[in-house]
Amino acid sequence: MTSLAIILLGPPGAGKGTQAKRLGREFDFVHISTGDILRAEVQKGTALGKQAKEIMEAGELVPDSLVAEIVGGRLRSGNGKRGFLLDGFPRNLVQAEYLEGAAGDLPVFAIHIQVEEEQLFKRLTGRRHCPNCGRIYNVYFSPPEREGICNACGSALMQRKDDQPEVIRERLRVYREQTEPLVGFYASRDAYFEVDGNEGVEAVFEELSARIAQIDQSLERASR
């Protein structure tokens, strides 16, 4: 099977993190989530975390150079036999151009998870996560068995600071302005696919799996 990089494109709340975790496991991709990496840096209080904290809490984008360094490092060190699944990167055209260079010969494809705005709001305001094992819940759609407690490990669930309504509005604005133009960038390279992300986690997972199979087939045909 050819090695490749797949970008999950989509607004905050589209389910990129949830899907990427599962796709990474089932298809053996190295999952790179810039949001998760940055949150871990903030948690540890590193120099990078200190630089990123306020920007993230305001729903703005962390400087391209910082994020590019993170992704470049992961691409170089990932054994990536099967390839990489990028979740939350690139977020603008500068980052997309950077990725073209950093990926080298690795083919890059984008799969856009499309979700309606009203649905996004519910997903984001209802989102909770377990700081211990990383499980994600939603108080409306997939609540834990006991309110506020992780089913898997019993830890107290948390809400991201940037999942407050006013910050969500800003993140969506930044997405429309800076990230959505990437649709044109990848479409013009014939490296663009879409899935309907309004359905449940399982249905979206099936659709994403089908797109990945389609990409694999096209790469195999091209290499013959």
**Site for ligand AMP contains 185 (CB under 6 A):** no
Strands 30-33 and 83-87: parallel
* Catalytic residue flag (residue 160): yes
List b or e across 163-174, with b for residues whose CB sees 16 or more CB atoms inside 10 angstroms: beeebbeebbeb
Q: Which stretch binds ligand AMP (CB under 6 A): 41-49, 86-94, 188-196, 197-205?
A: 86-94
* Catalytic residue flag (residue 224): no
Q: Which stretch binds ligand AMP (CB under 6 A): 3-11, 85-93, 138-146, 181-189?
A: 85-93
Q: Which amino acid, residue 17? A: G
100-159: which residues touch ligand AMP (CB under 6 A)?
Answer: none
CB 166 within 8 A of CB 179: no
Say how far residue 113 (Cα) sits from the centre of its chain. 10
Which residue's CB is nearer to ligand AMP, number 59 or number 83? 59
State the Cα angle at 200 between 92 and 186, rounded to 5°.
25
Q: Nearest approach, Cβ of 62 to ligand AMP (angstroms)?
A: 4
**Which positions are catalytic?**
16, 91, 127, 160, 171
Interface ranges with ligand AMP (CB under 6 A): 12, 34-35, 38, 55-56, 59-62, 67, 88-89, 91, 95, 162, 171
